Amino acid sequence: MLRHASVEEFIYVNVIEESSAQNFIINLKINNVPYFRNYFRGDQTFAIQHNNKSDSIYIKYYGEDMPLPAPPFSSLERSQINMSYDSLWSVAGNESFQFSEIQQGLYYIQTDTTEKTGLGLINPGNDYPYIKSSEGMLYPLQYLTSTAEFNELLNSENKKLSIDRFWIKSGGNLNRARELIRIYYNRTLYANIYFTSFTEGWRTDRGMIYLMFGPPKSVRKSPDQEIWIYSDRLNYRVLQFVFNRTPNPFTNNDFVLERNLDFKPFWFKSIESWREGKVYTVFN
């Protein structure tokens, strides 16, 4: 994300609770190579095994999309995570089991359904984390459009044409529109790679800020917090976003933004800038 930068990563490990994600071993079936991502494609098949053999492994399926994060200046608390699943089935837990699911959504694998720990895996579609379809291009535009505008795009007969028209109108010409598209959807890709949790990376708080404001000048990390710092060249003016790791039964990669009313002018300036054909840069 940042050039000429050193990176210190913290790996969250929980092997005390038997049903935690770290007690599951995932291998790609085709070559038996360990798999460490928390998202997968419908055409992939895995062999999954729990560290401690148990009678049964339970798999819950959640098909509903997670809501879009509130703007960074919002006073609304994030809604409680909906734990109501759409379906539940079990497999034998005394050996590795084959896992392959074509239906998009969240899959939660547990040894004990009464616990709030387990292995969360999401299937956002076969293109993920890349943006290759008109649908993939459409939904991230929710950050730049009003509800009415987005619904018009969503209900259009030719979504690709409508999306192209949106960007050409914003850019003012075809070449500028192409540049806006390249940058916006590259940011979407990187958000998906780095911030995927129990939903697509671009739908998370960190993904939202990354899409709209771009990579921060610096990042301070601790095991349970990230501070993103944006500043001018001489660091006279500074804007920072604080993200706190939040307990989440589906993932250990859920970081929630500390929202603040002071972010409001920056947010709307960012939208205005994108809509006027300029990639937004804080303090530029």
- Model pLDDT for residues 128-163, shown as the tens digit of each residue: 999 999 999 999 999 999 999 999 999 999 999 999
Residue 215 lies in a domain: yes
- Of the pLDDT bands very low, low, confident and very high (cuts 50, 70, 90), residue 87 is very high
Rounded to 10 deg, the angle between the 174-195 and 205-213 helix axes is: 150
Tokens 């899959």, located at residue: 107
- Of the pLDDT bands very low, low, confident and very high (cuts 50, 70, 90), residue 10 is low
Is residue 7's pLDDT more than 90? no
Residue 283 lies in a domain: no
Domain containing 241: what range? 21-275
* Rounded CA separation 102/252 (Å): 24
Q: What is the pLDDT of residue 2?
A: 53
Mean pLDDT of 87-101: 93
Residue 144 lies in a domain: yes
Residue 2 lies in a domain: no
Residue 4 lies in a domain: no
Contact in structure between 103 and 109 (CB atoms under 8 Å): no
Tokens of 46: 């895995």
Residue 3 lies in a domain: no
- Model pLDDT for residues 228-282, shown as the tens digit of each residue: 999 988 778 899 999 999 999 999 999 999 999 999 999 999 999 999 999 998 8
Residue 13 lies in a domain: no
In 3D space, the residue among 40, 83, 79, 85 whose CA is nearest the CA of residue 256 turns out to be 79
Residue 235 lies in a domain: yes
- Model pLDDT for residues 167-220, shown as the tens digit of each residue: 999 999 999 999 999 999 999 999 999 999 999 999 999 999 999 999 999 999
Q: What is the mean pLDDT of the chain?
A: 92
Count: domains in the chain: 1
* Rounded CA separation 116/20 (Å): 9
